[in-house]
Amino acid sequence: MYTTEFHGAVVLVTGAAGGIGQAIGRAFEARGATVYRTDIRPGTEPRFITGDIADPQFPHRCVEQIVHEASRIDVLVNNAGICPRTALPDITAEEWKRVLDINLTSAFLLSQACMATMVARKSGAIISLASLAGKVGGIAVGAHYSASKAAVICLTKTLARYGAPHGVRANAVAPGVIQTEMTAAATPEAREALAKSIPLGRFGTPEEVAETIVFLASKAAGYITGVTLDINGGLLMD
């Protein structure tokens, strides 16, 4: 029987102070993992590393600290992200770069740093947060956001190909509309209309995203790599 237990495993979660990030941290801890969290907002949990993930030095510093303290990283969850809803004509070059730095470049740099330690141990799992918008383009969200998430899907495939001969798997999840601060801005009317357009008739919960990520990181998903799993209540079936 394959398990989703993580006793003795070391997990790093970015964006850990956010709605989905908090649920991911709790889900791994509930399975016995030692969880390191990072976010630009300070957190109160143990092993919380505060910092701006868009600082190109930060990902390597963060991984160095964890490997020094815990001697390994078994699971990386690239979850940090921002989602400006700026209309296409109003997106400046600076805003475009900031979104790509946080949503994409940080995921690349952290994955690169973790990959080295995972390859050395011949084991590891990387899970990145893509988005429905990364498949269908930005409708309610910005062009920079959807482009960054599309790139995360492709980065995942490259990580999967690179890691496979070394026992390292890489997968992504593409949430649709999940109840967090990121989606709270819409009016009640807009939220109701949106919920009605979803086959399952509701938004998803952070816990539903976290449980899928735990599965993808676990031995139960040992033959799954390079995929992007939809978590969208049926909003997109491709």
Within 13 A of 16's CA, how many CA atoms are on the CB side?
Answer: 26
CA distances from 19 to 136, 195, 223 (A): 23, 19, 29
In the complex, minimum distance from the CB of residue 79 to ligand NAD, in angstroms, rounded to a whole number: 5
Residue 59: Cβ-neighbour burial (10 angstroms; 0-12, 13-18, 19+): buried
Nearer to ligand NAD, 166 or 191 (CB): 191
Chain residue at closest Cβ approach to ligand NAD: 18
Catalytically annotated residues? 145
In the complex, minimum distance from the CB of residue 120 to ligand NAD, in angstroms, rounded to a whole number: 26
Nearer to ligand NAD, 5 or 55 (CB): 55
Residue 3: closest CA among 23, 30, 26, 31: 31
Chain residues that interact with ligand NAD, rule: CB under 6 A? 15, 17-21, 39-41, 52-54, 79-83, 102, 129, 131, 175, 177-178, 180-183
In the complex, minimum distance from the CB of residue 72 to ligand NAD, in angstroms, rounded to a whole number: 23
Which amino acid would we find at residue 238?
A: D
Nearer to ligand NAD, 21 or 163 (CB): 21
